[in-house]
Structure 1
Amino acid sequence: MASANFSTLPLPSDTSGDGRRARSRTSRDKIVAAVLHLIEGGDLSPSAARVAEVAGVGLRSVFRHFDDMDSLYQEVSERVSAQVMPLLREAVIGATWKERLVRIVERRTSIFERIHPFRLSASLKRFRSAFLTEEYRRTLELEAATVEALLPPHILADQVSTRSIKVILSFQNWHALRFEQDLSIQEAREVVSRLLGDIISKLAD
């Protein structure tokens, strides 16, 4: 799966109104794209002044379009989610639950690789943002639910095994492998696959 550049993906624009409304939407879109660009580039907590500079708008324009930085980050988060969530929910093909679990590794880790800077950015701010705190909770629930959907009842009844599988396939585990142990994508994926294979080999079909 190719890496996404969220700042270059099209933003929805309302061009049906008059020129002033279209220009306002264009400025708003530039501001959102600037935040995406900065976060992708490693600035996980860009200032309003830096956002305005990259967007090519005045600082006052940022706060004319957004009440505060929290509302700006809310729109950024919604855009990233809109691009990624359909991939996370996509049906997994496989003859058995074990086969489906193994097949989800590449897709899920590719998604994690794409959203990594945005998840880190949100983590830095979520303790000061009610929206990002709730968004974090919803994301964790969705990640857990997509794993649970692949497991048969007798595995779901085994809480230790279910939790172990969730941890292996979690963003936190991927982050630890890629950015704390400094593994390549392929090396990290091999570790995830090995851990998953080891645990499901011990479980009944």
Structure 2
Amino acid sequence: MTTGVRKSNAAKAGPDRVDGRRERGRSSYRRIVEAMMELIVEGDLSPSAARVAEEAGIGLRTVFRHFDDMDALYAEITRTITERVMPTVLAPYPDQPWRANIGELVRRRVEVFETTLPFRLAANIKRYQSPFLMGQYSRVVMLERELIVRLLPASVRTDRIGVEALCAALSFHTWRTLRHDQSLSPDEAGAVMGQMVDAVMATIVEGA
């Protein structure tokens, strides 16, 4: 009788132990990602796995139990940041003249670039040693260009130099230079980017 009770209790406890392990695993996973992101935001643009483990308060083995390598961790951070900014990036534009929509794009770029700045700086350090980060860099650059060009009417797209100048003014490279290299505040950098874009638009010849 006693043996049967013990077996019954063990059977009931089994799923609880499994669920407990899963929850601990999910908790560790979240702590690793959050620790990595926090370190990057704080200025450690190339944190080691050991540093991430220390920040997360877990063992180094746990980091590599969840992530095969640092690329896998960067991939998860990329997914997290993408989910955060894509609603802004892909929000529809009003039915208004293209110049007004480019002005709206400037506002969105300032918001998105400022949110992603530390993570893109960190990725830039590693991308020449990481096929994943290099591929991600190329995809993002192409998407950012496409989002500009699709706002332009056909008569504007014929001005190739004007379009290229607009893409350069609205690029992350420009934002990084203003914020990181020239140490401008977000508001100052946004004002400079807006002025650059206005200057370029003033030179664009429609139907050239």
| Residue in structure 2 matched with residue 151 of structure 1 by the alignment | 152
- TM-score (normalizing by structure 1): 0.87
Count of residue correspondences: 189
1:68-147 equivalent positions in 2, closer than 5 A = 68-93=69-94, 95-147=96-148
Distance 2:182 2:63 in 1: 38
**1:62 offset after TM fit, Å?**
0.6
* Unpaired stretches in structure 2, ≥5 consecutive residues: 1-17
Equivalences for residues 1-205 of structure 1 within 5 A: 18-93=19-94, 95-204=96-205
Give 1:94 shift: 5.3
Which has the larger helix fraction? 2
What are structure 1's unaligned runs of at least 5 residues?
A: 1-16
Aligned to 2:7: none
Once the 2 structures are TM-superposed, how far is the Cα of residue 85 of structure 1 from its aligned partner?
2.0
TM-score by length of 2: 0.86
Q: CA deviation at 1:69?
A: 1.3
Between the aligned partners of 2:98 and 2:147, the Cα distance in structure 1 is 13
Alpha-carbon RMSD across the aligned residues, in angstroms, is 1.4
CA shift for structure 1 position 36: 0.6
Q: CA deviation at 1:92?
A: 2.5
What's the CA shift for 1:186? 2.0
Amino acid at match of 1:153: A
> Does the CA contact (< 8 Å) of 2:40 and 2:46 recur in 1?
yes
Letter in 2 for 1:23: R
After TM superposition, give the deviation of residue 117 of structure 1 in Å: 0.4
The 3 A distance-change label for structure 1 pair 42 and 48 is same
- Aligned identity (percent) is 42
